[in-house]
Structure 1
């Protein structure tokens, strides 16, 4: 079956169409970007100060906790974390609304790790000048037969847990490196 058979796709807001205002009463939105996606995927808490903001009265697509997003730039998916609620979804991302047939965390696992799905995404990039995925390519992805819902939930949960553990181990390794480098510097 195709991905479009189990999800509804919604494109992000095109940035170039937004009209920025200086009116202090207008809503302010932070842009959801690749750094936010990586933080949500690893379970890391990020600094609440967003890098890029816009003040606009325009209707925009904003994110809620638990929304499943896919980056058309990196080809990665994740679920939006609490610290990114209310962020503006740009045209570089697509929001996927899974049907009851598929668990959202399991779908993130499929999009990020399943060899068959990744191969289809990679094939769609061959010969492209700009390495950007398309909404059509995403919709047409063939996904494997779905296991029972309980199995999907277990796989999805394990996937997010191992991503969190991997991120924590990476942080520990970076801190250990800083300590060792500091001691080497002191020795000279």
Structure 2
């Protein structure tokens, strides 16, 4: 028996990050760094631009701000992708380009949610419709994402799909990294042969 799709908003809560310009600051407050593209791409197992820590944007908020925790599901509204926050990125602040997702564990497995949002035909179709007509920046809105629907399989299937998905993208990352290192080694050896 096929189940009916349910809106994301019925199986998860969504908390948007803060607008950087709206964060009240004080030089005496603790310095905080943002969860930015570099960290997001790393958590997606994608190569990203390496940013020197000295060039990262730092704020000293005097108000409560949303920071990510290890295992949080985060959606980038700019990239149209979801990721699970790794331990090395925990504690960073979310800007308004990101949304923290808290799934209802009795209905959805976080890794499955990431797979569904990133890879499922169901989600890709909805993302394409949501960004249709956008000419400059393909940015999802939080309102649209909340309305996306998912056909939920049983939790045991979700766990299997999500686990396999995360293992697959991690494996692909390391295979691509190994291929790049092999290419560098060969090119270096060729250069040495000429000299």
**The two structures share one fold, judged by TM-score above 0.5:** yes
Q: What corresponds to 1:66 in structure 2?
A: 71
For residues 101 and 32 of structure 2, what CA distance do their matches in structure 1 show?
A: 21
TM-score for both structures, normalised by structure 1: 0.91
For residues 27 and 64 of structure 2, what CA distance do their matches in structure 1 show?
A: 16
Contact map agreement 2:11 2:107 (CA 8 A) in 1 = yes
Q: What corresponds to 1:39 in structure 2?
A: 42
Higher alpha-carbon deviation: 105-114 or 14-23: 14-23
What is the Cα deviation at residue 19 of structure 1?
Answer: 3.0
**Residue 137, structure 1, aligned to residue 140, structure 2:** no
**Which digits, 9 at most, give the CA deviation of each residue in 1:30-51, with x for residues without a partner?**
111122112112299x999473
Q: What corresponds to 1:19 in structure 2?
A: 24
**Which digits, 9 at most, give the CA deviation of each residue in 1:92-142, with x for residues without a partner?**
001111012000100000000001211110121111243210001101102
Two-structure CA RMSD over aligned residues (Å): 2.0
The alpha-carbon distance between structure 1 residues 73 and 60, as it changes in their structure 2 partners (threshold 3 A), is same
Map residues 28-177 of structure 1 onto 2, 5 A cutoff: 28-42=31-45, 49=53, 51-99=56-104, 100-129=106-135, 130-144=137-151, 146-177=152-183
Structure 2 counterpart SS, 1:31: strand
Structure 1 counterpart SS, 2:15: strand
For residues 174 and 183 of structure 2, what CA distance do their matches in structure 1 show?
A: 14
Q: How many residues end up aligned between the 2 structures?
A: 184
For residues 48 and 5 of structure 1, what CA distance do their matches in structure 2 show?
A: 40
Contact map agreement 1:48 1:83 (CA 8 A) in 2 = no
Contact map agreement 1:110 1:117 (CA 8 A) in 2 = yes
For residues 18 and 120 of structure 1, what CA distance do their matches in structure 2 show?
A: 32
Q: What corresponds to 2:9 in structure 1?
A: 4
Contact map agreement 1:65 1:85 (CA 8 A) in 2 = yes
For residues 43 and 122 of structure 1, what CA distance do their matches in structure 2 show?
A: 22
For residues 22 and 155 of structure 2, what CA distance do their matches in structure 1 show?
A: 40
